[in-house]
Amino acid sequence: MKKILFLAIFLSATLFAKAVNPSGTLPVIYITTPSEITSTEDYTNAVFYIDAKSSGYASLGQTTMKIRGRGQSSWNDYDKKPYRLKLTSGIKILDMSKSKNYALMAYADDEHAFLRATTGYKVSQLMNLAYTPDRRAVELVLNGDYKGLYFLTETVRIDKDRVPIVKQDDNATDANIITGGWLLEIDNADATEQVTITDGNGNLARFTYKDPEALSNQQNAYLMNQLSSMDNAIYATDKSSTDWQNYIALDTLARYYIVQEVMDNTEAFNSNTYLYKDRGTTSSWNFGPVWDFANALQRNEQKFIYEDSPFTPQIWIGEIAKFPAFQAKVRELWPDFYNKYHTISAHIDNFIASIKSAAANDVQRWPDYGCSNPAAKATEFKTLLNARVKWLNEQWTGSGVEGIEFNENTPIEYYNLQGVKVANPHNGIFIKVQGGKATKINLK
């Protein structure tokens, strides 16, 4: 009798969880498919429509598309699944840029009230990266089943409203054409559309080419030459060298890097790290746009992202951080962001208020993944973020000591703030070691 009663209670609770309805405070996406979505490779035909509710956006009538799963661990490890959408034709959805391509992100792995990506994207905007994916909080109903709170997100791709560079055709052979229209991702897993090099530390570096999707021999050779040349320049013994800047845009890399440091995203430069190059023999590789922040703000200690990261190998960034020119650019850009940082608190508060009702329904649908108290989680998150930004500000600013007279007969060694010995320090804050004493100085 007890077993029957327990089973009845269990089934009742299960049915109740699945019977949750949309809150009505966010746009609702209704998707219908002829069969269950089981693959991250094969698309399934689907129709969908959007009821914008009271969000202020426009509703969308029934439209055809294809849908499949997306992600790796986010697809395999969670019952609340993310999806990749490919519309039949490009349209504007909820005031985002016109496109065929979107993603429905579940963020089942974000225990901080969906704030990791929300905040990471905001930091990217404040750092003025060329493009930051736009997104909207929505609720999803798939084949009549309420799936909870999701985020309809622009995917990273070459387009005038996304990564704004000329597109390169698959299997191109023209020597001028193949110089640009490249969109790559630093990856940590094998992929069919991928090239690899061994970096200067002996690590296997994987680069998945997103665009073009199929390479001719000429394209493959050009890409391999570019990556190898970048690697050789980055691992130059002389860190006063600027040869690596002939390949990589210093400004965009520094901006992208600051975003990752603010979020303490230790997975950056290991996976989900994009870089792109426009056409032209003198065009540079740019890092960005930002994408995944699933592992942001996870540590209980303040270190740079390339120090003791649990995600290895991290491609290039630890070596690039040794260049005084890169350090100087980071310090140059930091004050502008720091002066705007105060706006993030209000952004977080507004976001939490906007998803409050939907989050309550989401946690009923997904008790293991949802957030029952978003406001409390937001407070915790802001505490972590504020501590992180405070620490970075201490590393990248400070008046230091100027005008020191050195005894030229006394050996002097210089170390940057990462503890790396520097042969010819300039334009930055360094540690001077002289006669067994260490002094923090500001060289200008």
The rounded Cα 151 to chain-centroid distance in angstroms is: 15
Task: Kindly state the DSSP code that residue 271 receives in the 8-state scheme.
Answer: S
CA-based end-to-end distance of the chain: 82
In the prediction, which pLDDT does 71 show?
Answer: 86
Burial of 261 (0-12, 13-18, 19+ CB in 10 A): buried
**Six-digit token string for 228:** 């190898």
Host H or E run for residue 438: strand 437-443
Please list the alpha-helical segments (H only) found in 111-216.
Answer: 115-126
- How many whole angstroms separate alpha carbon 362 and alpha carbon 360? 5
In the prediction, which pLDDT does 345 show?
Answer: 97
Name residue 413's beta-bridge partners. Answer: 433
**Edge-to-edge strands, sheet with 421-422:** 421-422, 412-416, 428-434, 437-443
Asked whether 92 and 101 are in contact (CB, 8 A), the reply is no
- On the question of a cis peptide bond just before residue 324, with omega within 30 degrees of 0, the verdict is no
Low-confidence ranges of the chain (pLDDT < 70): 1-19, 398-444
- DSSP, collapsed to helix, strand or coil, labels residue 113 as coil
List, for residues 395-410, the tens digit of each pLDDT value.
Answer: 999 643 333 334 444 4
The rounded Cα 334 to chain-centroid distance in angstroms is: 19
Identify the CA nearest to 199 among candidates 239, 228, 241.
Answer: 228
What 299-307 contacts at long range (C-beta under 8 Å, 24+ apart), as own/partner pairs, is 299/264, 299/266, 302/387, 302/388, 302/391, 304/261, 304/418, 305/260, 305/261, 305/264, 305/265, 305/266, 305/268, 305/269, 306/269, 307/418
In the prediction, which pLDDT does 72 show?
Answer: 85
- How many whole angstroms separate alpha carbon 148 and alpha carbon 247? 44
In the prediction, which pLDDT does 424 show?
Answer: 62
Look-up of token digits 């394209």: 219
Identify the CA nearest to 212 among candidates 193, 191, 188, 187.
Answer: 193
- For the chain, give every domain's residue range: 16-154+341-390, 177-331, 398-444
What are the angstrom distances between the C-alpha of 374 and each of 170, 321, 360, 363, 413?
45, 36, 9, 11, 50
**Six-digit token string for 246:** 């002939």
- How many whole angstroms separate alpha carbon 326 and alpha carbon 317? 10
Give the number of C-alpha atoms closer than 13 A to the C-alpha of residue 116, restricted to the C-beta side: 20
The dihedrals phi and psi of 12, each to the nearest 5 degrees, come to -65, -45
In the prediction, which pLDDT does 419 show?
Answer: 53
- How many whole angstroms separate alpha carbon 168 and alpha carbon 177? 7
Asked whether 168 and 58 are in contact (CB, 8 A), the reply is no
